[in-house]
Amino acid sequence: MTTEQLAGTTVRMPALGESVDEGTITRWLKQPGDHVTAEEPLLEVATDKVDTEIPSPVTGILHCIVAEENDVVAIDAELAIITESGGTAAAPTPSPPTASVQVPPAAPAPTAAPVLPVSAPVPPAPEPEPTPAVPAPREQTAATDSVTEKLPRIRRTIAQRMVESLQTAAQLTTVLEVDVTAIARLRAAHKDDFMQRTGIKLSFLPFFAKAAVDALAEHRVLNASLNQDVTEVTYHGVCHLGMAVDSEKGLMVPVIRDAQTLGIEDLARAIADKADKVRTGTITADELSGGTFTLTNTGSRGALFDTPIINQPQTGILGVGAVVERLVPTRQDGELRIDVRSMAYLSISYDHRIVDGADAARFLTAIKARLENGFTTDDL
């Protein structure tokens, strides 16, 4: 039977983003004979950039699946046929069940398997000691079990790109400590109002993002990209900020376009929106491409600092460590004091082929100055 013989709707592989020309079917969420409604998730597809769900274009019955799980399918290729509810839709439904009805009969084996006679003798014999001997092997078997799983396509892509990045760039990391006590106090004073006004928690992250984006305007070498043969460098006039987001499917880096135009509130909204899309699987491939500089919040899980790997072909990536309260010596009016301060480490990994250590240090110093002295209530 060909798809042309069916009076139904052909489900095709949709465009999955710029420069993406195929996708791998990872899982069908519906089976032939199932009723589906328009916009209901039909299957899951993985690309080199993102995993995503493809919705049903119409309401009806999933008549047949054309492309199976693990198939690599080109954009616009056929995936399935959906027929209208009723009429011809009823015909396809029986087929799958019939096939599966023949499999269940194999279930009589389990009926014969009522090796329950074996478990029947076990109850009567609880007083003797054969019963304890049965659980022992089970525990040993479970303890020695190991699992081998196929890596998801997105995990394989991450692995490949991380290795390629290290093999491509001469990567070096510079670390600097920053005092964010003023920002901690600003947050404490305004977090409730900010939550009521925006519905978003006011974290430290938008402050770090804003300070980094502002500093990039004066340190263009870190908002740049090198061509493959290292003969040209492009200094970007805008900052498309990549924000590394941890998810069950792996690390993804959605991009906030024109971040240099955004204030603290807009950055907080954009960060929350991108993170939510990543974790709910609704992020698109286009939202994961085109970044000019990346920020990764390595402190979100308590790490003090990290040496992040550059997101090629960018020249820098900023790591933000956990904000912790520590006793810090300070001088005021010539006197040495010990105060409790909110401190964090910033680390910048950079491409040493074009960025010098002094460039990286100046960049971090500019961020430090902005964080320690540059934010007021007006920024909220």
- Reported residue count of the chain is 380
Q: Kindly give the residue spans of alpha helices, DSSP state H, lying in the chain.
A: 95-102, 108-112, 116-119, 130-133, 135-144, 153-168, 181-198, 205-216, 264-280, 357-373
Gyration radius of the chain's alpha carbons: 29
Instruction: For residue 26, give the H/E element and its range.
Output: strand 22-28
Active site residues: 352, 356
Q: Is residue 54 within 8 Å of 11, Cβ to Cβ?
A: yes
Question: Rounded distance, CA 175 to CA 126, Å?
Answer: 66
Alpha-carbon torsion (64, 66, 72, 74), positive or negative:
negative
Question: Rounded distance, CA 43 to CA 24, Å?
Answer: 11
Question: Rounded distance, CA 348 to CA 345, Å?
Answer: 10
**57-60 contacts at long range (C-beta below 8 A, 24 or more positions apart):** 57/9, 57/11, 57/82, 58/9, 58/82, 59/85, 60/8, 60/9, 60/35, 60/36, 60/84, 60/85, 60/89
